[in-house]
Chain A
Amino acid sequence: MTTILVCSDGGLGLDTLGEDDADVVLVDELCRLPRRIESLVPPNESELILAIHRSAAHLGVIQQAARRLGFDPLGVGIIDLEAVAGKELGRSLRAAVARSSHFPGCSSDQVKLLAPDRTTRRGLLSLGIPTYVGAPRIDQGTCAAGEGCRICASACPSQALSWVSGSISHDMNACVACGICVTACPRGSVHNPTMAPAAIEAEIRAAVGDGAEAVGIRFRCRGSTVAAEAGWHQVEISCTGMLDIGWLLASLALGSSRVDAVACEDGGCRLRNDALLAATWRDFVVVLEALGIDLTAARPVAPAPTPLEAGEWLDHRSTGRMIDLLAPESNVVVGLDTVAIGSVTIDPAACTACRMCSRICPTGALVSTTSDGVRIDFDPRLCVACGQCVSVCPERGNGAIAMTRGFDLTEWSLGRREVRHDPTPLCEICGGPVAPSSMLAKIGAMLGEDGVATMALIANRCVDCRGH
């Protein structure tokens, strides 16, 4: 069962709630005296939602009270009443319940202690009741760092993530819990319990409802205090720098009439991630134009029939999936600056078919087989434009591989396709593969006339048989 407590300060009354919200309890001075929740929550409740005035309440005290009641404080739904238009509280409560019910749980290494106020001597002598936020944890079981991937470390603006000997190391003290690593990871291996894509999707679904009422989704940075505006539901995220186009598109595909994002005001992002949001938004507008969606028109975009399950709409594959979902049937070619969608081309004249590109590809967009020579296939839907295939290619200086950001729906319609095929000569002794012919040709060219005898050996025998 869910307990919903709403601070009645500021004149909020039950008339702002619908018939479905009968289990809501209005509490006087909940913001000023948050410890009161300890006496108001019945035992064995599974979820707790609090609607409070964020600026008046001490989040640390609320978290303390939640702990005493047996709740995970990071799983408690908090609604900032200053960000909710009076008549729309019921919608916000339903959305908060949905997000809270999808809270994935939190381990002790996913809790980030926020530094207390140390600006006064008194502040130094008393750390006060601390406040915590969710922090990322890397799922080493699915992380591609072992294959060389370091996308999250490159994306981290605070250098809290680093690639060390084939795994990602997380420095909690450097981490600012901005969430950028969560959306940057091409495998969905970075988990922040408070920014779980499935929980945010559930919140959006609940806010949008059945689409009867036009509701815009406004992603709001945790540090900002955007005034409530009728017709908009605010979705709190760690930092708007973590937004990717997939989340913005998914909001539209889920039925929101509009979508918006607001970073910290008053001098810009505290974490200095303004440029990330600006670049994402620029590409988002380009994608919308290409897909024929008018963002300024307050009209619902009906969810299309889709094979996607609930919980998959905002995951690490969302950008490609949403473009697929929202794309018109016409051919669309879009070039973009930052979006995590790309296309890879391989020049057979320069490529030596070493397969380094397919080995490092974290999403499986590039895969290779060796059963019939070396064959490399590419699926543009899976490409996240990380560029690691280019950076690892030993022949990149000769133009063997190139990556462009953007998408070509005609190319997408082809699905996975062969982008490189190199016949491999077979060993004259055992019949096994020797090496890609283009690689042998390159070695032969490097050795020149002096290497004719050597080439006669290595081009005809595999590594195992060369000593015979």
Chain B
Amino acid sequence: MNLEHLSRLRQAIYRLGAAGFSPPTQELLAACRGATEMLDSLGLFDYSFGPAVANATTSLAEADLDELSAAFVSLFEVGVSGAPCPPQESSHLANSRTGEVAQIQSELQRIYLRFGLRLDAGSTDMVDHISTELHVMSTLCGQEADRHTSSRPFDRVVRYEDEFLTEHLLRWAPAFTAMVRSADRHPAHNALADGVAAFLAHERQLLPLLVATSVELSA
């Protein structure tokens, strides 16, 4: 398994996570039906997170759209005192009274610009939504894969990945996935939370290796 396959696999899993934590659609569920085989062809089961991610795709593929949509709203959007599992970074890390919400969001926008990314025109996605952050990582992994394909240096893009993971996703996503798991609203959301948690735990260990590898190769 070469580095290109690995980055394509990571890109696909981040994309799965981003889609899974977005409002469910028939297209998402249909796409999940063949996802395990596609991920397997990229070496999914070589890695410790393989079974958990495969279980997530299977559970999403088998889910009923109406039930999943209802669970999505009750988990991530409404609740007597806010959503039971708020899917925004600022809900987990910021003190709303001291303006930290805006601080986190503007910092993320600056980072996205620095990475050469911006939200689609007209997008209503929040910059610190779990889905947006996973999508950013997916895009970076895609850029990394393209560099492997064309044998160009990839040290800068893996440094971006490492920086974004360490300073943002890993600071709150593990707690968020644990909340989803303990809320236990829908088997597909439970499986998705398990899969993303296992994948991110692996990313925490993998990225330093990739950074070191990219530095050695560019030397």
Tell me the A residues contacting B by CB distance below 8 Å. Answer: 60, 64, 67-68, 70, 73, 108-109, 111-113, 115-116, 118, 121, 124-130, 132, 172-173
Q: Are A111 and B202 in contact (CB under 8 A)?
A: yes
Residue from A73, A108, A125 within 8 A of B49 (CB atoms): A108
Q: In the complex, which residues 126-178 of chain B have their Cβ closer than 8 Å to any Cβ of chain A?
A: none
Q: Are B51 and A124 in contact (CB under 8 A)?
A: no
Q: Are A118 and B48 in contact (CB under 8 A)?
A: no
Q: Are A172 and B46 in contact (CB under 8 A)?
A: no
Residue from B46, B197, B217 within 8 A of A108 (CB atoms): B197
- Sorted nearest first, the 5 A-B pairs with minimum C-beta distance are A108-B198, A113-B205, A108-B201, A111-B48, A126-B2
Residue from B49, B197, B205, B217 within 8 A of A112 (CB atoms): B205
From B4, which residue of chain A is reached at the shortest CB distance?
A: A125
B208 within 8 A of A: yes
In the bound assembly, the distance between CA atoms of A124 and B47 in angstroms comes to 18
B120 within 8 A of A: no
5 examples of A-B residue contacts, CB within 8 angstroms: A67-B45, A108-B201, A124-B216, A125-B3, A129-B1
From B40, which residue of chain A is reached at the shortest CB distance?
A: A68
In the bound assembly, the distance between CA atoms of A112 and B205 in angstroms comes to 8
Q: Are A126 and B3 in contact (CB under 8 A)?
A: yes
Residue from A113, A124, A128 within 8 A of B202 (CB atoms): A113
Residue from B1, B50, B206, B213 within 8 A of A124 (CB atoms): B213
In the bound assembly, the distance between CA atoms of A118 and B197 in angstroms comes to 27
Q: Which residues of A contact B49 (CB under 8 A)?
A: 108
From A171, which residue of chain B is reached at the shortest CB distance?
A: B204
B209 within 8 A of A: yes
Q: Are A108 and B52 in contact (CB under 8 A)?
A: yes
> In the complex where A125-B3, A172-B205 touch, is A108 in contact with B216 (Cβ < 8 A)?
no
B6 within 8 A of A: yes
Q: How many B residues touch A, CB cutoff 8 Å?
A: 27
Q: Are A108 and B48 in contact (CB under 8 A)?
A: yes
Known: A64-B45, A108-B198, A130-B47. 15 other contacts (CB 8 A): A108-B49, A108-B202, A111-B48, A111-B201, A112-B205, A115-B209, A118-B212, A125-B2, A126-B1, A126-B2, A127-B209, A130-B48, A132-B48, A172-B204, A173-B208
Looking at A70, A111, A121, A132, which has the most chain B CB atoms within 10 Å of its CB?
A: A111
From B207, which residue of chain A is reached at the shortest CB distance?
A: A173
> In the complex where A125-B3, A128-B1 touch, is A118 in contact with B208 (Cβ < 8 A)?
no
> In the complex where A125-B2, A125-B3 touch, is A130 in contact with B201 (Cβ < 8 A)?
no
In the bound assembly, the distance between CA atoms of A13 and B67 in angstroms comes to 56
In the bound assembly, the distance between CA atoms of A129 and B205 in angstroms comes to 15
In the bound assembly, the distance between CA atoms of A118 and B3 in angstroms comes to 13
Q: In the complex, which residues 39-57 of chain B have their Cβ closer than 8 Å to any Cβ of chain A?
A: 43, 45-52
Q: Which residues of B contact A124 (CB under 8 A)?
A: 213, 216-217
Q: Which residues of B contact A125 (CB under 8 A)?
A: 2-3, 217
In the bound assembly, the distance between CA atoms of A118 and B217 in angstroms comes to 10
Q: Which residues of B contact A113 (CB under 8 A)?
A: 48, 202, 205-206, 209
Q: Which residues of B contact A129 (CB under 8 A)?
A: 1, 43, 46
From A128, which residue of chain B is reached at the shortest CB distance?
A: B1
Chain B nearest Cβ from A126, distance in angstroms: 5
Q: What are the interface flags for B188-219 relative to A under an 8 Å C-beta threshold, 1 for contact and 0 otherwise?
A: 00000010011001101110110011001100
From B197, which residue of chain A is reached at the shortest CB distance?
A: A108
From B212, which residue of chain A is reached at the shortest CB distance?
A: A118
Q: Are B47 and A173 in contact (CB under 8 A)?
A: no
Q: Which residues of B contact A115 (CB under 8 A)?
A: 209
Q: Which residues of A contact B208 (CB under 8 A)?
A: 173
Q: Which residues of A contact B205 (CB under 8 A)?
A: 112-113, 172-173
Q: Which residues of A contact B212 (CB under 8 A)?
A: 118
In the bound assembly, the distance between CA atoms of A127 and B1 in angstroms comes to 7
